[in-house]
Chains A and B, each alone.
Chain A
Amino acid sequence: MSAAAELNPKDHDQAGSPMTLTADRPATEDAKPAGRPVKVRARGESSKLASVLSHGTLILASLIALFPVLYIAYISLGPDDNDYLHPAKIMDKATFANYSRVLSDTDFLSWFGSSAIVAGGTTVIGVLIAASTGYAVSRMRFPGHRQLMWTLLVTQMFPIAVLIVPMYYILSNLQMLDSYTGLILVYSATTVPYCAWLLKGYFDTIPMEIDEAGRVDGLSPFGTFWRLILPLARPGLAVAAFYSFLTAWGEVAYASTFMLSSSKYTLAVGLSSFVSEHDHQWQLMAATSVLIAIPAAFVFYLVQRHLVTGLTAGAAKS
């Protein structure tokens, strides 16, 4: 079947084999003539074969991870509609014409602006309110905190099909249909539950003594949260921001239902309107996709250092 699926059993072999080698090693070493210095290997270091195998697996996995992204960038260089069917021929006629067409002949820049406003707003608002909720649940044992966390988990389960029609009515009653504010609030509602869980877990790893010290020095609970805890929680905040930004940047269904005027389309909506308009001009879609992916990759690069610590705290301490 797929290369990615076949990877699975192999990974286990290779994750296991280096350890076996490390464990077997002392026995072979004993058999060697005495006098030769016995090489002592620290834990985590590995033998040559094991390291070749694990590099091999990681390189293969990296290629699989990278390939679709490179592929679309490559296709975007082909000038004709059908080029994706004959990828090999693109090499000879590669051109950036698709990019200049997208940038000059379409509303790309206005879609880009809408997406930036909506994704930026969602990130700021979503992370702030998720952080204050996460902090309250992590530090204060108020009645209902358990139910609140449970409710947040349950909201993750709501399928879009139940929510989207009633949401439309509420937004239209609040006069927020076709407005950035409305869409930002809708996105915040979808990202906040996970962010609050994640940040609650991260706050749990910060010692209580820091809060107490802040309180003794005369800070209010808000002050402690804002001045002491938030700066310490940077990895958690970075991951929450990344998640919120990506969700808002790539969402299609809500945006295409709630944004009515074409001047306010976000990139995802603009891209889909583009298919019918140009009747399946895949090469233009490919170019647009690459342009859309660049800011997301940039945000990712900014936060990637924090991903491991930030994500795990949320999962470890639930």
Chain B
Amino acid sequence: MDKKGLSVMQPVLVAKKLSKKYGKVVALDSADLELYPGEVLGVIGDNGAGKSTLIKVLCGAVIPDSGEILLDGKNVTFTSPIEARKLGIETVYQNLALSPALSITDNMFLGREIRQKGFMGSFLKFLDKKAMADEARKRLSDLGLLTIQNINQLVETLSGGQRQGVAVARATSFGTKVVIMDEPTAALGVKESRRVLELIGEVRSRGIPIILISHNMPHVFEVADRIHIHRLGTRLCVIDPKKHEMSDAVAYMTGAKQPPQN
């Protein structure tokens, strides 16, 4: 995605001058962020740079002291992750927020179950298990996750990468506008990490933009279209991974080198 294209397109998600203080500690100091349609935006920053606070504000877990968030150009406010989700901002948490003792289908539809039609559903509130299983299977195969044989398998029997896949499938299934992924490869081995990176590409190709927070530089540089570097509570710069080296990014992040002026 070249610069010219970006300036024409309207961003899906914009954060303007977000600030958040915890007592005397300034976690966010008038931070900005833009996410454009169909892109993967990597967010990196040193420990304590405030990137996790930024993400928590965007997913609704933390309420900012000031600043505004625009989704599709409209000003939005939310006070919990559930409200953010209703607006179309889905988060894949580092711990995935899955219930291990429930099945893949149950997890994908947790809190958004499909009921049977007619009397059985409206009065007896019976679930339409078949419709949910079919839908879950479709979602997973859309994301190329057909290695999972049984859709009613319990989540705890899945490998780490497969669990990540279920969480991503859930996050991209319900009219989602933005997916935030927090350290998706942190707990995974090499093979599984590769699978998750492919998954991120898969989601992007379906037009859903992703904010990817990660400590893993090679992973960020591999999948991100743009990289937002966070430093001292605010956005330091946004770089193009194709034009910058990883070592440059680390240098900007730590303050060892001045960022490019753009």
> Do A and B interact with each other, yes or no?
no
